[in-house]
Structure 1
Amino acid sequence: MPHRPLRIGLTGSIGMGKSVAARMFARLGVPVFDADAEVHRLQGPGGALLGPIEARFPGTTGGAGVDRAALGGRVIGKAEELKALEAIVHPAVRASRQAFLRRHGGHAMLLFDIPLLFETGGEAEMDLVVVVSAPLFLQRRRVLRRRGMTSQRFARLRASQMPDHVKRARADVIIGTARPKWQTFAEIERLVTCLRRSLVR
């Protein structure tokens, strides 16, 4: 039995166009919970996670919040360290997600933009899982355009994430992003329209 409101989980690997897709859902009137933005808030100046992160990873925080490069250097490619960080971050983000759900409970559907949806078991709380996907060459080109990104760091990030083909296999809906944005928007619009119609039956 679907939840009310309907909970849509949106996920995808780095560089697959997830943030763009989330903004398209928002344009269509679907409230969006952005897990990445929430992590930035919790780890930003005065954020609730600065103390626990500094205690576990000394020297990775300061007046501006978490030094993401320093923290990334401590955890990327290091399974135990990454697990320790996730044990700090994931419960806090989960609590924020529940607060978002309470605030927007009157809407027909909500979108939860969560990069590690599968990795954290979050799909169990969703009614529908949407995965955004694009070919590797395009993913690589998008990611390497980011400031401070290198081929080596991209390789480490890909290795630390669930492979795209596994996410696609576990998806209820796959949205391809290797095409003009208007086509992706049209596909998302059709999906939202169909879901709204199904909810009023």
Structure 2
Amino acid sequence: MLKVGLTGGIAAGKSLVARRLSERGAVLVDADVLAREVVEPGTDGLAAIAAAFGPQVINDDGGLDRAALGAIVFGDQAKREQLNAIVHPLVRARSAQLVAEAGPGSIVVQDIPLLVETGQGAGFHLVLVVDAPEETRVRRMVDLRGMTPEDARSRIAAQATAEQRRAAADVVLDNVSSAGDLLAAVDRLWDERLVPFAENLQAERAAPRDGGPQLVDPDPQWRHQARRLAARIAAADSRVLGVAHVGSTSVPGLPAKDVIDLQVSVATLADADGIAANLAAAGFPRWPGQWRDSPKPSCPDPAAWEKRMHCNADPGRAANVHVRVQGSPGWCYALGFRDWLRAEAPVAAEYLAEKRRLAELHAGDRSIGRYAKDKDEWFTDTAEPRLQEWIRGSGWRPEEAAAF
């Protein structure tokens, strides 16, 4: 199943998006509804809240006095965290139960107001954020909920910032115009991304890619996208020793194909094969066939360059996932070449010139196969000897290389 985490700031329009996704066929798991369910009279959750915050948060009917509890926690971060520590584990357990009951081909949308604050993004195939300018949200809370502007801003300040939510988002829906525009954006997302993603997941296939090499301008979002994908991969299997952003999108300022390359470190090739099913379930199915990098003069043994290749099932974010044994020649080369380009701007410019030459040469191709083959020749004949010289002169060590 495709698991989507839905979140957004208060009064941003998240509930409208959730309803539309449910209408289109999603299985909706609403954390707000569950948060009420787990603190109903007679539950362990309500008993824990009363013990923590006192009998004044229980009304005469034996239920939770939400206004009294809100007055205690919204202005006090420590007390808010104490409340979250009680409620969130109960909500997560109930959510997990509902998700487990959904069918294997389902699109499950979990509506979680504090998804970013509680760091749950890696548990979803996609995180969808609904956003709106702060002034718009304040006006909605004043006009529609009867809040004072001061109370509205206090509620906003108690949540993650817009910047934090956007950094965690795979998709941002900006609710800045009409409800009709927002619903139309949800429909496009459902038809063009969520449904194909769910179908690819169920079939354990990568999202199709057609066409020859096309370089685009560097995108500052590549770094954030790589981190989100890496977090999902790292959470997929304990045999993943680490995940690093490599390839051209990892070099700031360098034009590249709009494909995120990630290197997954494992202890053995047996582990690389062993994690394949869990990577596929996380959204990264195996690319057919056995793969190995082109041997380089510093290590001519072809077997030493063996790896496993996965790609993203998400049609909205192309990614290559190279699973390599930690410390192997290919593993070291991917990190070293990246750091060489980062450290030496003239080398990065030379590499860009070669990529542009080859992209133009293969502009009419229906795939990137010949482009990649020609680029491998440049790596082996031109770049690799100079890279080894840079490594010797700089003292660079692969085990000290940053992941991002």
Which residue in the other structure is 2:158 paired with? 160
Which residue in the other structure is 1:34 paired with? 30
Shift of the 33–56 alpha-carbon distance from structure 1 to 2, 3 Å rule, reads same
Q: Matched residue of 2:38: which SS?
A: helix
Give the CA deviation at 1:190: 1.3
Is residue 97 from structure 1 mapped to residue 103 from structure 2 by the alignment?
A: no
Unpaired runs of 5+ residues, structure 1, are none
User: Which residue type is aligned with residue 187 of structure 1?
Assistant: A
Indicate conservation of the 8 Å contact 2:34/2:91, yes or no.
Answer: yes
The more displaced of 70-79 and 177-186 is 177-186
CA distance in 1, matches of 2:27, 2:106: 10
Q: Matched residue of 1:130: which SS?
A: strand
Shift of the 42–145 alpha-carbon distance from structure 1 to 2, 3 Å rule, reads farther
Which residue in the other structure is 2:314 paired with? none
The more displaced of 87-96 and 57-66 is 57-66
Which residue in the other structure is 2:9 paired with? 13
The more displaced of 33-42 and 103-112 is 103-112
Shift of the 185–64 alpha-carbon distance from structure 1 to 2, 3 Å rule, reads farther
Any runs of at least 4 consecutive aligned residues in structure 1 with deviations exceeding 4 A, and if so which? none
- Aligned with residue 183 of structure 1, among 181, 188, 201: 181
CA distance in 2, matches of 1:150, 1:69: 15
Which residue in the other structure is 1:199 paired with? 198
CA distance in 1, matches of 2:140, 2:147: 10
CA distance in 2, matches of 1:73, 1:48: 22
Give the CA deviation at 1:61: 1.4
CA distance in 1, matches of 2:111, 2:99: 13
The root-mean-square deviation of aligned C-alpha atoms, in Å, is: 1.6
Which residue in the other structure is 2:57 paired with? 60
CA distance in 1, matches of 2:198, 2:42: 41
Give the CA deviation at 1:64: 5.2
User: Which residue type is aligned with residue 60 of structure 1?
Assistant: V
Matches within 5 A, 1:129-140: 129-140=127-138
Indicate conservation of the 8 Å contact 1:18/1:132, yes or no.
Answer: yes
Unpaired runs of 5+ residues, structure 2, are 201-404
The more displaced of 56-65 and 14-23 is 56-65
Indicate conservation of the 8 Å contact 1:143/1:149, yes or no.
Answer: yes
User: Which residue type is aligned with residue 192 of structure 1?
Assistant: W
**How many residues get paired?**
197
CA distance in 1, matches of 2:134, 2:190: 27
Instruction: Render the CA deviation track for 1:120-156: whole Å, top value 9, x for unaligned.
Output: 1111111101100112221111111344522222122
User: Which residue type is aligned with residue 31 of structure 1?
Assistant: V
Instruction: Render the CA deviation track for 1:15-48: whole Å, top value 9, x for unaligned.
Output: 1000111001001010110001111222234444
- In the superposition, the TM-score normalised over structure 2's length comes to 0.47
CA distance in 2, matches of 1:52, 1:148: 30
User: Which residue type is aligned with residue 58 of structure 2?
Assistant: T
The more displaced of 105-114 and 142-151 is 142-151
Indicate conservation of the 8 Å contact 2:4/2:124, yes or no.
Answer: yes
Indicate conservation of the 8 Å contact 1:129/1:172, yes or no.
Answer: yes
Which residue in the other structure is 1:74 paired with? 72
Indicate conservation of the 8 Å contact 2:116/2:164, yes or no.
Answer: no
CA distance in 1, matches of 2:156, 2:26: 29
CA distance in 2, matches of 1:133, 1:114: 14
Structure number with greater Rg is 2
The more displaced of 100-109 and 81-90 is 100-109
- Aligned with residue 104 of structure 2, among 89, 92, 106: 106
CA distance in 2, matches of 1:155, 1:199: 38
Indicate conservation of the 8 Å contact 1:144/1:150, yes or no.
Answer: yes
Indicate conservation of the 8 Å contact 1:60/1:71, yes or no.
Answer: yes
CA distance in 1, matches of 2:160, 2:107: 27
- In the superposition, the TM-score normalised over structure 1's length comes to 0.91
